[in-house]
Structure 1
Amino acid sequence: ISLDVSAVLCEGFDSPRARMSCGHVVTPMSLTKWCQQLLKQGKSRFVCGQSGCNAEWPYQEVCKMALLTPEERKNFETTMALNAAVGDPNTKFCPGCMTPVTRGSSSNLFVCCQVCSAKTGRSFGFCWQCLREWKGRQPRSDLCENDDCHNSALKTLRECPEVKIKTVNGVKGCPSVRACPTCGSLIQHTGIGCKNISCPRCKMSFCFGCLKTISECRTTGTHNVYGVCSIDIVPRQTSIPVWQR
């Protein structure tokens, strides 16, 4: 524990202080608040807040120095995963060490974590789909052998209830959750308001009923009716589009 009063992020907090791996000093409370602020900004990694210091703190270091409770850890990890998914669909957090890992192949659910492998002295892999330590043979593109391994996004698309969408032939049932046709993010419609929506992730505007762009929905076919879908409603999606940025 360091008592260096010149360090960053510790003003106003009367508590023990600890030196981070980058050399700067924090208090548990200030570190927690700083990391929470980063999470609110949509970040999934923790970077020192000292001016001119861009050092990244490993998650395990943050947990130790911030004295995070089990509940705080759970909240941090949930938000980190959500932020990472929005920022980069090819990155997820290893369930063993919470280190961000990039998927090598979209046709293989097995992902090797180099950090855990180095720690344990053996190859450590996890399932990209259920985020648990890998079980069974690999490579696999469908599922691992953990109980109830499934693609939660596809399950949501398959099992979500319907909402009513206006069409030129009346009102038809439409899945209440769609995968954005551009980036694949799941978006829910309450059935209230306009059928034309804008994806909060990629900003693409499309029709929730036919999954076409708004201009295509309005002009395709024999009708051009604002607020009414002029194309047949697309059935439930069976795959998640990949964002080709």
Structure 2
Amino acid sequence: MSRQKCYDRRDKTLTFVDGEDQLDFLMEEFNSPRAAMSCGHAVTPMSLTNWCKRLIDEGNTKFSCPLTKNNANCNAEWSYMEVRKMAALTAAECMYFEETMAKNATKQYNDLKACPGCQSLVLRKDPSKLAVRCTFCTVQRKKAYDFCWQCQREWKGPGPTSDRCAHERCNNYELDILGTCKDVVFEMVKNVSGCPSVRACPTCGCRVEHDGTGCKNITCSRCKVEFCFVCLKITTECKKSGPYSYTGTCTAGVAPRQTFIPVWQKK
């Protein structure tokens, strides 16, 4: 996606910086000029492009600085306008960023899917029902058009139901993954076995995978709630269940494989 790009030292709108606190760990650009972001940390166009692309590819809608300031995480938030300028985004990159950010925002705040009949986004108002009506297709076809939220085909059979429609192999793809994924082997967490490598976030239901590195806690990319991957409790609750350690066994033990997807009860 990214082309090789470099700041022009003659650009008077930029503040060029030399020093160690630089965002160059995603791509080696040691000979490229670095300019200061609003938080003061130095970037190159390529390193900033790669870092911010990584953020939106992980489902985020905001950009933040990953570096440290005074021995603490900086976490300064950068606006898209700042990122667009400082990353020297091309027209194609701008389109990718803006479309991906819009999709991420949609996923975070609405229960939406594309209608298989017209591909327009449809909001599911009742999470307990799989039969969802597309008003656009209903008007266009001059008859009620419902589709299955689970298998994403035109609804077949009686309804509405909460488990499946009458199509063969109408199964929940997300649940299939939760039930058949391999177990994760933690590098740091002690005495844990039989923990699935993929979980549904206990707060919003977003699918989250643990690669075994780091501690047992993970922060959901959608709802931003941190939970324990082992016992599936919110981290604050996991800490209350007994003697706590980020790398130790949970007092509550390993939660079994999930058989339903939690629905996000937004407040």
Cα-to-partner distance string for 1:109-166 (whole Å, 9 max, x where unaligned)? 1111111111111211110111111111111111111221111111111111101347
TM-aligned CA distance change 1:176 to 1:115, over 3 Å: same
Deviates more, 1:127-136 or 1:105-114: 105-114
Instruction: Please tell me whether the aligned partners of residues 204 and 223 of structure 2 are also in contact (alpha carbons under 8 angstroms).
Output: yes
Matched, 1:183 2:183: no
CA shift at 1:218, angstroms?
A: 3.3
Aligned amino acid, residue 192 of structure 1: T
2: CA distance, partners of 1:130 / 1:236: 22
Secondary structure of 1:197's counterpart equals strand
**Which residue does 1:228 correspond to in 2?**
248
CA shift at 1:38, angstroms?
A: 2.6
**Which residue does 1:99 correspond to in 2?**
120
Instruction: Please tell me whether the aligned partners of residues 218 and 229 of structure 1 are also in contact (alpha carbons under 8 angstroms).
Output: no
User: TM (normalized to structure 2)?
Assistant: 0.59
User: TM (normalized to structure 1)?
Assistant: 0.64
**Equivalent runs, 1:1-245 vs 2, <5 Å:** 36-41=96-101, 43-44=102-103, 84-88=106-110, 90-165=111-186, 170-221=191-242, 223-231=243-251, 232-245=253-266
2: CA distance, partners of 1:219 / 1:114: 48
**Which residue does 2:13 correspond to in 1?**
none
Cα-to-partner distance string for 1:204-229 (whole Å, 9 max, x where unaligned)? 111110112223333422x2333213
Secondary structure of 1:162's counterpart equals coil
1: CA distance, partners of 2:263 / 2:189: 28
Aligned amino acid, residue 214 of structure 2: G
Deviates more, 1:100-109 or 1:173-182: 100-109
CA shift at 1:107, angstroms?
A: 2.5
Q: Which runs of 5+ in 1 are unaligned?
A: 1-30, 45-81
The total of aligned residue pairs comes to: 175
2: CA distance, partners of 1:171 / 1:97: 47
Aligned amino acid, residue 123 of structure 1: A
Cα-to-partner distance string for 1:149-194 (whole Å, 9 max, x where unaligned)? 11111111111110134766x2322000011111111100111222
CA shift at 1:40, angstroms?
A: 2.3
User: Which segments of structure 1 move beyond 6 Å, counting only runs of 4 or more?
Assistant: 31-34
TM-aligned CA distance change 1:236 to 1:32, over 3 Å: same
1: CA distance, partners of 2:131 / 2:92: 33
Secondary structure of 2:208's counterpart equals strand
2: CA distance, partners of 1:33 / 1:193: 32
